[in-house]
Amino acid sequence: MFRLFFCLGAGFAGLAVLTGAFGAHFLSKRISSEMLNVFEIGSRYQMYHALGLFVVAWSMCQWKAQLLKVAGWSFVLGILLFSSSLYVLSFTGIRWLGSITPFGGVCFIVGWICLLISAIHNNLI
């Protein structure tokens, strides 16, 4: 499972760099500055949580904790809901898509809490 989360982290990180460059070089002249900011937030949070997937993968090599799987899948689902909804919102301007974004944020929080609990249970803290 750690290999899967490592590969997903690498893939999402690469896509975050790609979306960031796309936003800076292509979108900056085609969408409003408000929508460009929305797009950039999606890209930034995608990168943060791609790096979080690397942490989960490393942790799985160190500890035996079922919550690490929950953390990893929470980050994946969070990226899909949070970042993707912001990307689509920035392109379309359809405001109700913003109502999906908080569900992705909750997934991110769940992932970090699961990672913290795993660290505590493995005497890291």
Q: CB within 8 A of 59, min separation 6: which ones? A: 65, 68, 71, 115, 118, 119
The model's confidence at residue 125, banded by pLDDT at 50, 70 and 90, is low
How many residues make up the chain in this entry? 125
pTM of the shown model:
0.94
For 15-71, how does the pLDDT look when each residue is reduced to its tens digit (9 = 90+)? Answer: 999 999 998 899 988 999 999 999 999 999 999 999 999 999 999 999 988 999 999
For 63-106, how does the pLDDT look when each residue is reduced to its tens digit (9 = 90+)? Answer: 988 999 999 999 999 999 999 999 999 989 898 988 999 999 99
Q: Are 124 and 59 in contact (CB under 8 A)?
A: no
| Number of domains present in the structure of the chain | 1
Tell me which residue range forms the domain holding 108. 2-121
